Amino acid sequence: MTVVIGFNWPIEHDHAAAAVVDGKLVFASEEERYTRHKHSIREPPINALRQTFLYLKNRLGIKPKDVDAFAVNWDPKLFPWKRRFHAALHSLYILRGVYDIPLLNESDYYSYYVTLLTHILSGDYLAFARTLVRHVILSLGEEAPSNIRVIPVRHHLAHAASAYYFSGFSSAAVLSVDGSGEYESTVIWKVRDGSFEPILSMYTSYGSLGFLYEWTTHRLGFAGLEGPGKGMGLAPYGERSKYYDKLREFVKVDPEGDEPYAILVNGKKVKAKGWAEWDSIYTYIAENVIGGRSLNWNPRGELSKDAANVAWAVQRVTEEAVLATAKWARDHTGEDKVALAGGVALNAKANMEIHYARIFNEMFIFPAANDAGTPIGAAAYVYEHVLGGKMRHGRLTDVYLGPEYSDDEVKKVVQRSKFKAEYVGDDVGVVADLVAKGEVVAWYQGRAELGPRALGNRSIVADPTRPEYWRVVNDIKGREWWRPLAPSLLDEDKEVYFRDPVSHEFMILMFRYKDEEACRRVPVTCHVDMTARPQTVTRGQNRTWYDLIKAFKEIKGEGLIMNTSFNLAGEPLVETPQDAIRSFFVGGFDAMYMQGWLIRKR
């Protein structure tokens, strides 16, 4: 048996841990689910690693000492010394200063400080990764191996591996597009039988669509790492304007050129590997486009025409650049299939443009396309390319990969809550009836989804045929009123609603509705541009979730329900049964289905 655990290191954001056992992904979970802080900024994956070890031991009998290697998602060899030094210093500060984790044998002061100073001055931040692993193992009362093997993987290679190994393709073009890796932001790969060949690498300083979007939407009043998602929802309220024209002065798009696009400053590409230079470039562009440091707009108030037009501009430019990248990749790799990962691959609208352009015959987007997915890619790559294994190369069809909570554990939480509760088991027809009558229902079952989308295990459901519920549900969640809500639908009914759809389980690919009549039938899940970001569902993927939608169809005639993530404003998806009860109590839900229990507030 060969076991690899992947996790994010050094400490950045969207931390996660994952386990690959004999070529199969068996577990993955994000740190934010336990700290309850969205994106787990500056929070090392302590809880995610702990849950990984517990799952391996309790379900598979694998102890921490049986783990063959640990894979991390940044390669120090590709960082300049200054970046490594700061990463090591930051690791020391977070582990020792914030979490009070012992780093070495602190009883021998001389040896301790000499070793510590050596790690910092050499920029050896991987030493602190080994410290973290050892600390988590010992905290579980387990034996820590004397040699903890931590293997770094190039950031964009980790993204590319997550997309390729779970696509089901033997050969494909792979696009990894995000804010930044060690120094690059967009890499095009040609992958055949597990061999990764980089065809094009674009420096962050002139190629970061992620930073371009992030820096621009930040000036619309959106928090860090939240802007791109919200900007994508705001963009359809806008139109072409001076903001688009100004932004296009900075972004050159040419799918026939040496590179598919370039982000220019004073008409020139800047090659730089430092964070300060990157920040200066994208700050300069954002402020020039907007005409100042920020727009004076309250995102929770009335729509601002300027804000919507800025969002339209950066969304449109992103779509143009992504589409050009896809065309460039098709021409230069000769592949007819494409797999995508990286934070920009969460832009479901840009993915839709690739889908409808018919550049490739097949497309796969890794569901945790952001940095939370890189531990999975890193672990898969290390398993196959370092340890000599062979990944089980099937297409990923679900991401229910989190911890398990037993029926007895859920029952105890329900009984302690003192809410009115009835056990209905898998008979979810009663839940469908509540939804059809206009109740907003929280839905909790099984292992949590990996990634930012609710896919039927941590969801909020409502009747999509009631137009007023667009605002009702957003109000319950504490979201901006204008943000779109997504549908989950029976896979066999996808052609009923959408134009040229394919089965898509992960809600990171948009489709256009067939016509206005289709939109009128389910107005809650039809955005103002007649698009949606759906999840198609088969009974084999998620039996109870499918049965709920099927039962709703029998009542209302629509094989589609509104599905948004079960969380309140500013929080990640609920993880534990206790999280679910707390959110149900605080939120304005009418009922909750919780692993067989139907819970009511009144």
Domain CATH for 189: 3.30.420.40
* Domain around 291: 168-365
What would you report as the CA-atom Rg of the chain, rounded to the nearest whole angstrom? 24
Q: Which of 340, 365, 390 is the last residue of a domain?
A: 365
CATH code for the domain in which residue 586 is found: 3.90.870.20
> For residue 455, what are its two tokens?
């896919």
Within a domain: 160:
no
| Contacts (Cβ under 8 Å, ≥6 apart) of 561 | 435, 461, 462, 463, 464, 487, 488, 489, 548, 549, 552
The pLDDT value given to residue 293: 82
SS3 category, 203: strand
User: Are residues 500 and 416 part of one domain?
Assistant: yes
User: Are residues 425 and 311 part of one domain?
Assistant: no
The pLDDT value given to residue 146: 87
User: Are residues 290 and 178 part of one domain?
Assistant: yes
User: Are residues 313 and 243 part of one domain?
Assistant: yes
Distance between CA atoms of residues 86 and 105, nearest Å: 23
pTM of model > 0.95: yes
Q: What are phi and psi of 203, to 5 degrees?
A: -60, 145
Within a domain: 398:
no
The pLDDT value given to residue 393: 83
Secondary structure of 283-351 in HEC code, one letter for each residue = HHHHHHHHCCCCCCCCCCCCCCHHHHHHHHHHHHHHHHHHHHHHHHHHHHHCCCEEEEECHHHHCHHHH
User: Are residues 150 and 52 part of one domain?
Assistant: yes
The pLDDT value given to residue 340: 99
User: Are residues 317 and 453 part of one domain?
Assistant: no
Count of Cβ atoms closer than 10 Å to residue 519 Cβ: 19
Q: Which of 301, 332, 365 is the last residue of a domain?
A: 365
User: Are residues 347 and 420 part of one domain?
Assistant: no
User: Are residues 574 and 527 part of one domain?
Assistant: yes
The pLDDT value given to residue 244: 98
pLDDT digits (tens, 9 = 90+) for 574-584: 999 999 999 99
Within a domain: 370:
no
Within a domain: 61:
yes
Distance between CA atoms of residues 592 and 421, nearest Å: 9
User: Are residues 293 and 413 part of one domain?
Assistant: no
Q: What is the mean pLDDT of each run of 10 residues along the chain (602 residues)?
A: 98 98 98 98 98 98 98 97 96 95 74 86 95 97 94 98 98 98 98 98 98 97 94 98 98 97 96 95 97 90 97 98 98 98 98 98 98 98 98 95 98 96 97 98 98 97 98 96 98 98 98 98 98 98 98 98 95 98 96 98 80
Within a domain: 62:
yes
The pLDDT value given to residue 475: 96
Q: Which of 107, 129, 155 is the last residue of a domain?
A: 155
pLDDT digits (tens, 9 = 90+) for 275-313: 999 999 999 999 999 998 889 899 999 999 999 999 999
Count H helices and E strands in the chain, helices first.
21, 22
Within a domain: 401:
no
Within a domain: 375:
no
User: Are residues 230 and 87 part of one domain?
Assistant: no
Total domains present in the chain: 3
User: Are residues 360 and 233 part of one domain?
Assistant: yes
The pLDDT value given to residue 106: 64
User: Are residues 112 and 85 part of one domain?
Assistant: yes
| Contacts (Cβ under 8 Å, ≥6 apart) of 91 | 10, 11, 125, 128, 129
